[in-house]
Structure 1
């Protein structure tokens, strides 16, 4: 992989991470997991340390008890050699290498050892502790560090020479107990942490379900299945739902007023315009053809501009209204029938291929106006046939392709014909507003329209519109 490809992949991965981090669910779950793992880990460390202190105290207490028993059993024979009246009660001091040791030393005599030392005495460093003082030290034993308790006593018959008593246990014995406890603790806390993570995931999932229902309801509003959001939501979400419903109501009222005002404006303009047209016809009838032609031409220009601006205003209002959807089959069928009657006298045939259940996210009236303009334009220039193909080109886009077998247009004119009032051939009937209206309506709905060469030899018009939600 090249450096640029790695950079693109790294940037894409970072964008994906940022997109996931914008999710409430991801933030809550990650935060819960971090706190749970951190809390459980700290709890485990604290419990392990507390258990270590407890076990250490227990071992020290046990060694203290064994030291007291050893002191009670220690004696000196007539030769001055120390001995025990009997064995210690704990059998762990007997097997060689058991990890539990005791030793008695007296100046000038061989030390007395436990069976676990197997004849190898412990090396006691430094001077013995003072009489009556218990000293806890660490020394090196047969199998590693030994936790040792030392005492100094003067038994009866010892001739004044004290005995140095040492009793200890391998540090490894303490470590084994702690390791076993830590394994059990880690397993237990791991199960608890897993349970808490699952509980947090379920809590977040169920806790965010009301927001998911609001999102689904908004999709239903946009698709036109419902007008308002249901308000049977939890108290924390209900104010948001109520505000959204108020916004939907205000938007609907605004659109209603805009349509009413546009209709009123059109009526207010068309009535004087009709009077002017009538006056122009009167002038023509009176023989004033030059003045009549000027008035009628300007009236026709005003009428075209009114129709164009009204189409834009209606489409803008429709675009603002949620739930717009137009079925392609149902919308195109009557338009094709009308085009057959309009251009059939010249022998022009219209043929359509359209998949079932294809709908565009536009108002039916606006879709009809766009397609009718394109079909009428194709019928004017076709020689024998106009073909209409409807498909879903990619996810979320409906494509309408209209091909004719006429003379076509040079590529430099493909954009020019979308200018308002632009007509490339004055011999053909029309106002020069059809294609500009199509482009403006398509742009208002987030779509696009363009021209290109047709494989049938004429011109191809391609109209792409957003698909309606299922």
Structure 2
């Protein structure tokens, strides 16, 4: 299962994404504004030059002569990207020294093309931005066409240079903003880290309440958690006391009923006696089951539970090996070092005790207990035997309260039910399968202790 992303990382990623979006948007807007501004400047310069060209040009007898050169010397450099031409009805009357190629061709003029208007046309050295103006020197003749243009590449070079500088500037600004945002988020999240450390200390059993002073936004949460911890501790104590009271209160009536059943049996009322004894056993089974469950629920709510799997397994095996010594059973314990499960020690003893005892009852010669860590912060504990095992259809039935598949052997049918309830209450799972030894294998998965 994939671990959820931390709130700190989410905030940093969100801030980075938002800053990056803002930098890209700023780059697009500023670049576009600059391009529009520079393009207008280029055209304004062309308008000034075409007005100067019209002022200096004299058209006579199909020729145009300038009284002086244009003030911009770039029109005198061959293929410089700065050109002008004077045309009349398609004929070139004069052109700039920089112009050595074919005449410039502009789109046909419309009636609305009065004064200076602009075009984009093909030029000698690339696409041209041109300004065009018509002037009627003689009302009886076609107008004189003044054309002046600049290569678009000059505009593109200026815009590219600006975009490059803008990119580096915004990148530096964006990175500095990301670093500042990350530092601000880390500083703001420090109280939550302290809160997590305090909660860990409470869960691990080092502390009973969370100490320390927190910001005003977090302190009410800490106060409420401390109050809840005190309340839970009190509820746990009450639950344990009530479970004990119930068990103690029912022991005496059950003992009296059992004694009366035996007296009936001595009087020859075997049927009535057996019925009462059977019901007393069922009641005792349910009392044991429910009181154990109540105790475990209370233990589960208690923070900081942890049990050493190797030590508990060794203790249980040591006790049971003496019980089954007369059968010569071989008990094997193969548990990795430093394995701790999030479970009360006495509850883990009850889980392993029920399962190992059940394996010992049916094993021929061997019982093996193994444990190791698995993915997902879980501890896997398995109990295997070389007995006759169980058919697959019995793997779930035997977990029911009071159910026994082998009615010939001693037992109340309560051990496996209690074991499953204990494992489930601690957030684990338990299942049965065929063992590699030939018998039954019980596999338990419990959360590892923090």
* TM-score bin, normalised by smaller chain: 0.7 to 0.9
Q: What's the CA shift string for 1:307-334, capped at 9, x where partnerless?
A: 2221121122222333322112222333
Structure 2 distance, partners of 1:451, 1:76, is 109
- Give the match for residue 259 of structure 1: 240
TM-score, length-normalised on structure 1?
A: 0.72
Structure 1 distance, partners of 2:316, 2:62, is 128
Cα pair 2:356 2:383 within 8 Å, conserved: no
Q: What's the CA shift string for 1:44-69, capped at 9, x where partnerless?
A: 33323432343244334434554565
Structure 1 distance, partners of 2:55, 2:49, is 10
How far residue 163 of structure 1 moved from its aligned partner, in angstroms, is 10
Structure 2 distance, partners of 1:415, 1:44, is 66
How far residue 148 of structure 1 moved from its aligned partner, in angstroms, is 2.2
Give 1:69-218 correspondences, 5 Å limit: 70=53, 83-103=65-85, 111-118=93-100, 135-138=116-119, 140=121, 142-143=123-124, 144-148=127-131, 150=133, 166=146, 168-172=148-152, 173-197=154-178, 199-200=180-181, 207-208=188-189, 210-211=191-192, 214=195, 218=199
Residues 1:466 and 2:446 aligned together: yes
Aligned CA distance change for structure 1 residues 369 and 69 (closer, same or farther; 3 Å): closer
Alignment partner of 2:249 out of 268, 287, 291: 268
Give 1:260-409 correspondences, 5 Å limit: 260-273=241-254, 302-345=283-326, 347-382=328-363, 385-392=365-372, 394-395=374-375, 396-403=378-385
Cα pair 2:384 2:437 within 8 Å, conserved: no
Q: What's the CA shift string for 1:394-418, capped at 9, x where partnerless?
A: 331321314255x666666665554
Q: What's the CA shift string for 1:113-160, capped at 9, x where partnerless?
A: 331234966568769999xx9624437574343422648599xxx9xx
Structure 2 distance, partners of 1:315, 1:229, is 25
Structure 2 spans left out of the alignment, 5+ residues: none
Residues 1:443 and 2:424 aligned together: yes
- Secondary structure of the structure 2 residue equivalent to 1:116: coil
Aligned CA distance change for structure 1 residues 65 and 275 (closer, same or farther; 3 Å): same
Aligned CA distance change for structure 1 residues 123 and 199 (closer, same or farther; 3 Å): same
How far residue 258 of structure 1 moved from its aligned partner, in angstroms, is 1.0
How far residue 464 of structure 1 moved from its aligned partner, in angstroms, is 0.5
Structure 1 distance, partners of 2:252, 2:112, is 123
Q: What's the CA shift string for 1:201-243, capped at 9, x where partnerless?
A: 5655665565566556555544545444555444444444444
Structure 1 distance, partners of 2:370, 2:62, is 117
Cα pair 1:103 1:111 within 8 Å, conserved: yes
Q: After alignment, is 348-357 or 365-374 more displaced? A: 348-357
Q: After alignment, is 417-426 or 182-191 more displaced? A: 417-426
RMSD of aligned C-alpha atoms? 4.8
- Give the match for residue 42 of structure 2: 59
- Secondary structure of the structure 1 residue equivalent to 2:98: helix
Aligned CA distance change for structure 1 residues 390 and 134 (closer, same or farther; 3 Å): same
Q: What's the CA shift string for 1:337-360, capped at 9, x where partnerless?
A: 332333334544544332212223
Structure 1 distance, partners of 2:119, 2:92, is 23
Cα pair 1:223 1:468 within 8 Å, conserved: no
Q: How many pairs does the alignment contain?
A: 439
Structure 2 distance, partners of 1:80, 1:465, is 103
Cα pair 1:374 1:402 within 8 Å, conserved: no
Structure 1 distance, partners of 2:228, 2:27, is 52
Aligned CA distance change for structure 1 residues 223 and 466 (closer, same or farther; 3 Å): farther
How far residue 94 of structure 1 moved from its aligned partner, in angstroms, is 0.8
Cα pair 1:81 1:106 within 8 Å, conserved: no
Structure 1 distance, partners of 2:361, 2:122, is 110
How far residue 263 of structure 1 moved from its aligned partner, in angstroms, is 1.6
Aligned CA distance change for structure 1 residues 447 and 84 (closer, same or farther; 3 Å): closer
